[in-house]
Structure 1
Amino acid sequence: MSHLRKTTNDPTDDGDRTQGLDAHLVVDHGTFRLDVTLTAAPGDVVALLGPNGAGKTTALRALAGLVPLTTGHLRLDGTALDRTPPESRPVGVVFQDYLLFPHLTALDNVAFGPRCHGASKAEARTQAAAWLDRMGLADHAGAKPRRLSGGQAQRVALARALATRPRLLLLDEPLAALDARTRLEVRSQLRRHLAEFEAVAILVTHDPLDAMVLADRLVVIEDGHIVQEGTPADIARRPRTAYIAQLVGLNLYRGQADGHTVRLDAGPAITTTEDLSGPVFVAFPPSAVTLHRDRPTGSSARNLWHCEVSGLETHGDQIRADLTGELPLAADLTAVAAAELNLRPGAPIWATVKAAQTHAYPA
């Protein structure tokens, strides 16, 4: 994704606007402790991913100043914000439910930010009109939130956040309230707006597709700590926890490699294409698994396990079978194949995976 990285010659600016975000967020909340380090350059879009309760929203609220840091630091463009109240931070926030003022029009919702930053009513409304036009909402300037569709409300909320020209944009599940069809359209629009945003954007989402499409870099948080970070391609290819593997749709195991054989920490051995030694992860997609009602003979697959069907669910246009037994795994197959195998919970099944379809990498 390309970014338009703008510079400024405004002598009143504090700090170095080219530095971006430098944060060590430590928040103690009862028995839960968040301890994450986040850095991002201007123009970067970073997605925070993780299961419920991992600490993503706490991190976002700490960046916004809505949750105080127990310790650590928060610097934006070289300026410390640790003790700066939320309303004085150069931060824009788009909340999950948008939080538009119901009694104000779209125009006045967007104008609210510039007004709070000292602009006159006329100046603020002129700026707001320009932002609504940029969002393709010029014809809805006079509409109140109840008259807007979900996608339109999302764009008004984004315009309101951007109208103050923030140096940090925070988006909390910005597409979660949309139906599937609207989500597809708005995701594309949001990607374009983020590509044009010259400062740092931090996105919290549960949706891996949102993260993969919108972000340059993913930061995965579990139990208040970062467990993996990298580009979407890196994360998808080399997951390092069960949560990430499930997120990107892979079977993932950990074990000790000796050449092309990996002895799993809990379970049998897996034959892989890579020649490695020491602690490794092994991953393969559910589509790489072939199921057999009887033990196959003459199969070229080097990996063969006797399993039991524990559950079946529709997965896109296929059936996903969850298997237990010698090796817990997920397998994808067509509805026709599932019927021919007479798959049902409790049924015994043989699973094979070719070594060429596995991927092993250092743990």
Structure 2
Amino acid sequence: MTDVDDPKPATTPNPPHPPGLNAHLVVDRPPFHLDITVTAAPGEVLALLGPNGAGKSTALRALAGLLPLTTGHLHLDGTPLHHTPPESRPVGVVFQDYLLFPHLTALDNVAFGPRCQGATKSQSRTQAAAWLDRMGLKDHATTKPRHLSGGQAQRVALARALATNPRLLLLDEPLAALDARTRLEVRAQLRHHLADFEAVAVLVTHDPLDAMVLADHLVVIEHGQIVQEGTPADIARHPRTDYIAQLVGLNLYRGHADGHTVHLDPGPAITTTENLTGPAFVAFPPSAVTLHRNRPTGSSARNLWHCEVAGLETHGDQIRADLTGELPLAADLTTVAAAELDLHPGASVWATVKATQTHAYPA
């Protein structure tokens, strides 16, 4: 009889990281502390949205390798990059001010990346020409940055970032330097180019419209922490902080729901159509608010509050009234209506909102 060694117990290998971006970014820069986790699949556009000083740029610089992580990790397509120097990362960056080389033509700006990766001058220029053609800039190949419009410079910067075939594309406020009309056009062009990008794109912005139009998934950062994330539609409909509510143009309150009533703490109750129990948010747009100089009688609105006008400002083609009193809120009304009500700071008003125009959801 032959002795046979007992078979070794099977070991389960560690599951591989999925393709795309998987990062836990922790950066200590006293007194500021960033601690966020972000993931994105190939072909997905992730937007980091937040007010100035929230940590968006810190996160972008950490992803690019321009700022070391205090702890955490950064995996891209399963490969750890947190110890990889920035020049060796498969990352392309479009900076807010584009940072094109002023002494180089548009063609040579785009060719710079492939040249650094070892391509010959001829190969680099061929690749660059193809990218400029894709960006609709074929006729500007020999133009230097100072002779490009803002929109053209933005597209050259994008072509330069994409010419290195990055697996992660970082866009730092890419539309901030453009005027309003150019911004509208370039935003549409950028959306088209990002739709064709097969790897991960991360957009840093404080503009909610840029985030809503360009991104598949939003991560909202405040004070170095993630306060909410989800699809643009979900975040627009269910804001969870005052900052987000202001971005998407909603009055937002938090309280305790008991059936169709949300009791604010502190504050009055708001009647809603949703039937909830427990901690809840309730939101409604300023356009849902109707103002009266005298307490209305016979109104079908279930919500009525006595307020005072704290301020008035033009908001698009309407007047936005900032109200204090029983319930601080914003109300939108036409210029004619504001004149007929003789609204002015200090004026006493009654505000009504129909229950059907509110939206309540669990906190």
Class of the TM-score when normalised by the shorter of the 2 chains: over 0.9
Report the counterpart of residue 10 of structure 1 in structure 2. Answer: none
Report the counterpart of residue 25 of structure 2 in structure 1. Answer: 25
Report the counterpart of residue 279 of structure 1 in structure 2. Answer: 279
Report the counterpart of residue 213 of structure 1 in structure 2. Answer: 213
2:320 counterpart SS class: strand
**Aligned equivalents of 1:325 and 1:124: distance in 2?**
65
Per-residue displacement from partner, 1:75-118 (whole Å, max 9, x unpaired)? 00000001100111000000000000000000000000001111
Stretches of structure 2 that go unaligned for 5 or more consecutive residues are: 1-15
2:115 counterpart SS class: helix
Is residue 136 of structure 2 the alignment partner of residue 136 of structure 1?
Answer: yes
Is residue 124 of structure 2 the alignment partner of residue 124 of structure 1?
Answer: yes
1:296 counterpart SS class: coil
Is residue 246 of structure 2 the alignment partner of residue 249 of structure 1?
Answer: no
1:295 counterpart SS class: coil
Report the counterpart of residue 154 of structure 2 in structure 1. Answer: 154
Normalising by structure 2, we get a TM-score of 0.95
Report the counterpart of residue 307 of structure 2 in structure 1. Answer: 307
Q: Pairwise CA RMSD of aligned residues?
A: 0.9
**Aligned equivalents of 1:72 and 1:295: distance in 2?**
58
Report the counterpart of residue 7 of structure 1 in structure 2. Answer: none
Report the counterpart of residue 180 of structure 2 in structure 1. Answer: 180
* CA apart distance, 1:17: 10
User: What is the total number of aligned residue pairs between the two structures?
Assistant: 348
Given the superposition, is the C-alpha separation of residues 263 and 17 from structure 1 closer, same or farther in structure 2, using an over 3 Å criterion?
closer
1:155 counterpart SS class: helix
* CA apart distance, 1:266: 1.8
Given the superposition, is the C-alpha separation of residues 82 and 227 from structure 1 closer, same or farther in structure 2, using an over 3 Å criterion?
same
* CA apart distance, 1:343: 1.0
Matched letter for residue 232 of structure 1: P
Matched letter for residue 133 of structure 2: D
**Aligned equivalents of 1:127 and 1:17: distance in 2?**
32
**Aligned equivalents of 1:265 and 1:204: distance in 2?**
34
Matched letter for residue 238 of structure 1: H
Report the counterpart of residue 6 of structure 1 in structure 2. Answer: none
Per-residue displacement from partner, 1:134-170 (whole Å, max 9, x unpaired)? 0000000000000000000000000000000000000
Structure 1 contact 45–217 (Cα < 8 Å) conserved: yes
**Aligned equivalents of 1:360 and 1:280: distance in 2?**
7
Report the counterpart of residue 331 of structure 2 in structure 1. Answer: 331
**Aligned equivalents of 1:191 and 1:270: distance in 2?**
40
Report the counterpart of residue 261 of structure 1 in structure 2. Answer: 261
In terms of Rg, which structure is larger?
Answer: 2
Identity percentage of aligned residues: 85
Report the counterpart of residue 353 of structure 1 in structure 2. Answer: 353
* CA apart distance, 1:64: 0.2
**Aligned equivalents of 1:289 and 1:160: distance in 2?**
49
Matched letter for residue 113 of structure 1: G
Stretches of structure 1 that go unaligned for 5 or more consecutive residues are: 1-15
Matched letter for residue 284 of structure 2: F
Structure 1 contact 253–283 (Cα < 8 Å) conserved: yes
Report the counterpart of residue 4 of structure 2 in structure 1. Answer: none
1:345 counterpart SS class: coil
